[in-house]
Amino acid sequence: MYVADSRASGAPSADGTARAPDRPGRRRAAVAPTVLALGTVSLITDVSSEMVSAVLPLYLVAGLGLSPLGFGLLDGVYNGVSALVRLVGGHLADRGRGRHKAVAALGYGLSAVCKPLLLVVHGLPLIGAVLAADRTGKGLRTAPRDALISLSSAPGAQGRAFGVHRAMDTTGALLGPLAAFLVLRATTDGYDAVFTVSFCVAAVGVLVLVLFVPGPARPPAAPARGRGPAPAAARPTLRAALALLRRPEIRRIALCALLLGLATVSDSFVYLLLQRRLGVPEGWFALLPLGTAAAFLLLAVPLGRLADRVGRRTVFLGGHVALLGAYGLLLTAGPGGVLPFAGLPYAVLLLHGTFYAATDGVLMAAASQSVPAALRSSGLALVQTGQSFARFVCSLAFGAAWTAWGDRTALGAFTVLLACCLLAVGRAPRGTPTTAPPATGTTSEEAPA
């Protein structure tokens, strides 16, 4: 079941089942306007936030003369807070109609006002507090935004919709640092200018959200007419949100994400390993995340569409096979390695980006199919938080393994672990298909590009 979006034009569609083409005689737009609007919001917001992230170390060291060490320690805490806030945001968004947009706007707005605050606070604790508020905003908005994306897309086109959104999001992440460094280049110690510009950009993002993302979708009566799974249970209470885990198909997806997350070594470690084992030169180190992002950007849409066609589960697992490949390359290379060819770092980054493109949006697309519309936001938040939690545990475990055994053995162990998790998940019964759209979807939704 899904709730079709109400278009910017405000024309409501007829019912909660399959959506008729927009205008008779014309092919339905490939991606819903709401998704494009949300993609634009994410693009703009990411330009804004990545502008700040890109210059923050420089600002702390060169601008304020602070020592940034130990700052990273708090990062895990922030990410933990952000994951919890995500659950809260997801739950809040499901309570009452049209709350998705309101909660998302609150999240985007909170992050936006943090930018000028960076200008006025100067001590490390206060800067930490502002960054925590910024993360809180990010946590709040993620689940309602993803819920809006899924609610405004046809069941058979969820993968594509999330792919388009993630590609736009990543484009912003790539443009942000560029914008920041152009500002720094044009000025002297222009950190204040970077923060001001970042705020202006963020404000535009919030405005686009408020103006162009439709609010309350439809009266809640509509879903009852769908033939999707257990429509009656769709009362957005906290208990109902937790009861989602009793649904086998959601539990399966959450467990799958959790299990694979436990073997997903964090980005920082991947880049560290790249540098140590493949000898990536100093000057390139900061560019490694851009390599992953570029591959993610290019592959998000094709892999999202592939997920719609061959099954989200297949593509999701395939993404982890790509990650397994990246681990394998890192293992076989390095000092005394057997694969000393120059393109190896590129291959690792390509596989790493493929992993994100095949898993990030695709997981949301898969989860969307099992969560009733009324609990969409909570359900997505639940799956995301489970995954983040698993990855956090994995980071701690990987750090400990590195300490105990050294980088190569640790990576070897986690490669085996990932392979085992993949086998376990791959062999598990599929149950309710996460592949094909549910019965309410019609093939007419699968509009070719």
Partner 1 sequence: MTTRARVLVLVCTIVLLAAVATASVLHAAARSERKDRARPGGPGVSAGRVALVGGGGGRIVFRNMAWGPHRDELSSVPADRPGAGRTASGVRCLRFHAAAGTGICLQAVHGAVQDSYRAVVLDSRLHVRAHYAVGGVPSRARVSPSGRLATWTVFVDGDSYANSTFSTRATVLDTRTGKLIPSLEEFRVVRDGRPYHAADVNFWGVTFAADDRHFYATLATQGRTYLVRGDLATRTVTTVHDNVECPSLSPDGTRIAFKKRVKGLPADAPWRLYVLDLRTGRETALAETRNVDDQALWRDDSTLAYALPGDYGADLYTVPADGSGAPRLLMKAALAPVYLGTG
* Near partner 1 by CB under 8 A: residue from 20, 28, 29, 68: 68
**What angle (nearest 5°) sits at the alpha carbon of residue 337, between those of residues 334 and 343?**
65
Contacts of partner 1 in 5-34 (CB under 8 A):
8-9
Cβ of residue 127: shortest distance to partner 1, in angstroms? 8
Cβ of residue 333: shortest distance to partner 1, in angstroms? 16
Which residues, including other chains, have CB under 8 Å from residue 263's CB and lie 6 or more apart?
394, 414, 417, 418, 420, 421
Cβ of residue 181: shortest distance to partner 1, in angstroms? 4
178 binds partner 1 (CB under 8 A): yes
Round to whole Å and give the CA distance between 226 and 439. Answer: 10
Residue with tokens 């890192």: 330
Position 403: which residue type? T
Closer residue to partner 1, CB minimum distance, 186 or 338: 186
Contacts of partner 1 in 280-319 (CB under 8 A):
281-286, 289-290, 292-293
102 binds partner 1 (CB under 8 A): no
Closer residue to partner 1, CB minimum distance, 9 or 443: 9
Round to whole Å and give the CA distance between 79 and 267. Answer: 14
117 binds partner 1 (CB under 8 A): no
Total of residues contacting partner 1 (CB under 8 A): 77
- Count Cβ neighbours within 10 Å for each residue of 405-418 and write b for 16 or more, e otherwise: eebbebbbbbbebb
* Near partner 1 by CB under 8 A: residue from 23, 268, 310, 428: 268
429 binds partner 1 (CB under 8 A): no
Cβ of residue 248: shortest distance to partner 1, in angstroms? 33
* Near partner 1 by CB under 8 A: residue from 11, 120, 211, 342: 211
Cβ of residue 123: shortest distance to partner 1, in angstroms? 4
Q: How is 257-276 classified by DSSP, letter by letter? A: HHHHHTT---HHHHHHHHHH
Angle of helix 33-58 versus helix 124-151 axis, rounded to 10 = 160
Check if the beta carbon of residue 43 is closer than 8 Å to that of residue 174: no
Q: How is 195-213 classified by DSSP, letter by letter? A: HHHHHHHHHHHHHHHHHHS
271 binds partner 1 (CB under 8 A): yes
* Near partner 1 by CB under 8 A: residue from 405, 424, 428, 433: 405
